[in-house]
A and B are shown apart, each in its own frame.
Chain A
Amino acid sequence: MSRILLDRVSRWYGNVVAVNDVSFEVGPGITGLLGPNGAGKTTLLHLMAGFLVPSAGTVRLDETPTWRHPEIYGRIGFVPEREAVHGFLTGRRFVAAAARLHRLPDAAAAAERAIAMVDLRDAAGRAIGGYSKGMRQRIKVAAALVHDPPVLILDEPFNGMDPRQRLHMMNLLRRMAADGRTILFSSHILEEVERLSDRVLVVVAGRLAASGDFRRIRRLMTDRPHSFTVRSSDDRALGRELLAEPDVSSVELRDGVLTVRTGDYGALTRSIAPAAQRAGVSLLELRPADESLESVFSYLVRR
């Protein structure tokens, strides 16, 4: 078991501060690094993976500083966000090359095992250059876990995956975490982090805005007024029915648009369908009016 430790880490590029005085520890289990685009997630992951030198503070893998210690890669698997791969290699050669660079005793067998884990056996004989985005993402993961590292760092691993691939990858990460591995992944999508992580780190504008158990952070994020816009076969009847719901704080029908406000995000999504049924109305669309992640984050930061 391994831990990543950040102690008062800052990183700036010239005058631009990308990461600002961040301290945390990541241990076994799945930790989600959540934040809007440009918040400094990639900078943080690159600091942890030893690809950037901290301007201040220390980043360590257990006792070893990650910067300028290539031996740490025996214990870290890293999946970068950038799509570029050695596209002229087949999937099998790409993963086997990784295995050989790790000096694994049986590189070919290790490569086959990793390729099977990401469910890419059928495509392993083809050049990566012709892979879809989701397949590329998976072959990158295979190359990162070919040496069975105790720590796996993934930068936006679900980008470009279809729902089935996403589910498969989530199950894979869960299995690896169950074996006692330390898994850290970044995402700008709340739902991915919610479904997968035990712990969450929220970064906004280079700072650690919140960290800890997901349920606690979820409450911080959701215990705030939410509004939805609704389209239905009869907005007036639906609005009347919804007003009776205890979680609905107000209903507004203006210019043919029904807006519903609630203090409890989850309760409304559960109660709206039964309400529509009772009113005998067909629900056409339910759309969160202010659910952009930025608004969630700015709410968190203001707190």
Chain B
Amino acid sequence: MTVTLIEITLRGLLNRRRTLLLVLLGVLVVLVAGLYRLADQPQAEAAGFTGALLGNFGLGVLVPLVAVIVGTAALGSELEEGTIVYLLARPVPRWRIVLAKLSVSWLVVTVLVAVPILVAGIVAHPGDPGVALAYAGSSVVAALEYTAVFMALSLVTSRALIVGLAYVVIWEGVVASLFAGTRIFSIRQHALAVAEWLDGGAVTAELAPGVALVMAGIVTVGATLLAVHRLERVELRGETA
């Protein structure tokens, strides 16, 4: 049962051109790292550059962008197109559908973000692969948290992609950078704190790792429960209604 849900979700995601375009975004991060190396910068600055590239571009742009597109599509596109009926018209507990979709989306996002972050980090700063590993590791955690939130969002509003992007740009990009008190509600800040925890030396985060991990856990579980709650009550209308 779960295998079937996973197969349909995975093939559905990989068949979308949008998902494949996201590979290019990861390639871009690696390209920037490569260009930096080719420019023959002094080794002393490499650590700072790598941190900025992986923190700002990797965790700040790549992870949320990939997660918002994959996370809202996994259930949202099936709802929008109406194919969800072939999953709902079965005696399957709704939490199984949500968990299967969430796991697959998490896996896809992880592959699309953690790999380029790891490669870019090693290319930009081969002397200290620990930084690359720390950012790649935290991107795996962030991928889960983002994906869970955006999947729940796709069951709350039909404009989940727009709302999700607005959250990333306005809340995480502007509000959380201006007001330190709001950072506890920023997934990006959770990710930075985890990266710091994984590699204390190079990363400086605003939140304590313990707080960030607990918040990430609460948000992920809460969003997943919300998604199950919504899917149990989702209504299907005809095309004209």
Distance in angstroms between the alpha carbons of A155 and B85 in the assembled complex: 13
Q: Contacts A85-B83, A86-B83, A98-B86: A74 and B91 contacting too (C-beta < 8 A)?
A: yes
Nearest residue, chain B, Cβ from A67: B233
B238–A82 contact, CB under 8 A?
A: yes
Binary A-proximity of B64-106 (CB < 8 A = 1, otherwise 0): 0000000000000000011101111111111000000000000
B17, CB-defined interface residue at 8 Å: no
Contact bitstring B134-171, A, C-beta under 8 A = 1, else 0: 00000000000000000000000000000000000000
The answer to whether B241 touches A70 (Cβ under 8 A) is no
Residues of B within 8 A of A299 (CB): none
CB pair B240 A88 closer than 8 Å:
no
Q: How large is the interface on A (under 10, 10 to 19, 20 to 34, 35 or more residues)?
A: 35 or more
Task: State whether A42 touches B89 (Cβ < 8 A).
Answer: no
Residues of B within 8 A of A18 (CB): 241
User: A284 within 8 Å of B by Cβ?
Assistant: no
Residue picked from B82, B85, B237, B238, most chain A C-beta under 10 Å: B238
Does A120 have its Cβ within 8 Å of any Cβ on chain B? Answer: no
Asked, given contacts A73-B91, A74-B91, whether A97 binds B7 with beta carbons under 8 Å apart, the answer is yes
- Is residue A43 within 8 Å, beta carbon to beta carbon, of the partner chain? yes
Given contacts A82-B85, A97-B4, A101-B1, contact A88 B236 (CB under 8 A): no
Contact, CB under 8 Å: B12 / A81? no
Question: Looking at the complex, which one of A13, A38, A49 makes contact with B89 (CB distance below 8 Å)?
Answer: A49
- A42 pairs with B238, CB closer than 8 A: yes
Q: A80-B82, A82-B82, A84-B82 are in contact. Are A102 and B90 (CB under 8 A)?
A: yes
Q: With A and B bound together, what is the CA distance between A109 and B15 in angstroms?
A: 28
A78 to B238, CA, bound (A): 13
Of A43, A86, A144, the most chain B CB neighbours within 10 A belong to: A86
In the complex, chain A residues whose CB is within 8 Å of the CB of B232: 68
A100 vs B6: C-alpha distance in the bound complex, in angstroms?
12
User: For residue B237, which residues in chain A have a CB less than 8 angstroms away from its CB?
Assistant: 42-43, 46, 52
Q: How far is the CA of A88 from the CA of B81 in the complex (A)?
A: 14
In the assembly, what is the distance between CA of A73 and CA of B85, in Å?
Answer: 11
B90 touches A52 (CB 8 A): no
CB-defined contacts of B12 to chain A, threshold 8 Å: 86, 88
As a 0/1 sequence over residues 1 to 43 of chain B, the CB contacts with chain A under 8 angstroms (1 = contact) are 1011101100110010000000000000000000000000000
The answer to whether A78 touches B89, judged by C-beta atoms less than 8 angstroms apart, is yes
Min CB–CB distance B104 → chain A (angstroms): 14
Q: Contact partner of B87 among A71, A72, A81, A101, CB < 8 A?
A: A101
- From B1, B11, B85, B89, A89 is in contact (CB under 8 Å) with B11
A100 touches which of B4, B81, B83, B89 (Cβ 8 Å): B4
**Cβ–Cβ contact B8 & A84, under 8 A:** no
B4 touches A70 (CB 8 A): no
- Write out the residue numbers on chain B whose beta carbons fall within 8 Å of the beta carbon of A46: 235-238
How far is B1's CA from A115's CA once the two chains are assembled, in angstroms? 20
Q: Do B11 and A88 touch (CB < 8 A)? A: yes
Task: Give A121-150 interface residues, CB cut-off 8 Å to B.
Answer: 143-144
Q: How far is the CA of A78 from the CA of B91 in the complex (A)?
A: 12
Assess whether A98 is in contact with B8, with CB atoms less than 8 Å apart.
no
Contact between chains at B15 and A88 (CB < 8 Å): yes
Chain B residues near A71 (CB-CB < 8 A):
91
Contact partners of B11 in chain A: CB under 8 A: 86, 88-89
Residues of A within 8 A of B236 (CB): 46, 51-52, 80
The CA of A144 and the CA of B86, in the complex, are separated in Å by: 9
State the CA gap A144–B81 with chains docked (Å).
19
A residues with CB within 8 A of B: 13, 18, 37-38, 42-43, 46, 49, 51-53, 68, 70-74, 76-78, 80-82, 84-86, 88-89, 94, 97-98, 100-103, 143-144, 155
- List, sorted by A's number, 10 A–B pairs whose CB atoms are closer than 8 Å: A38-B240, A52-B236, A70-B93, A71-B91, A72-B91, A86-B12, A101-B1, A101-B5, A143-B86, A144-B89
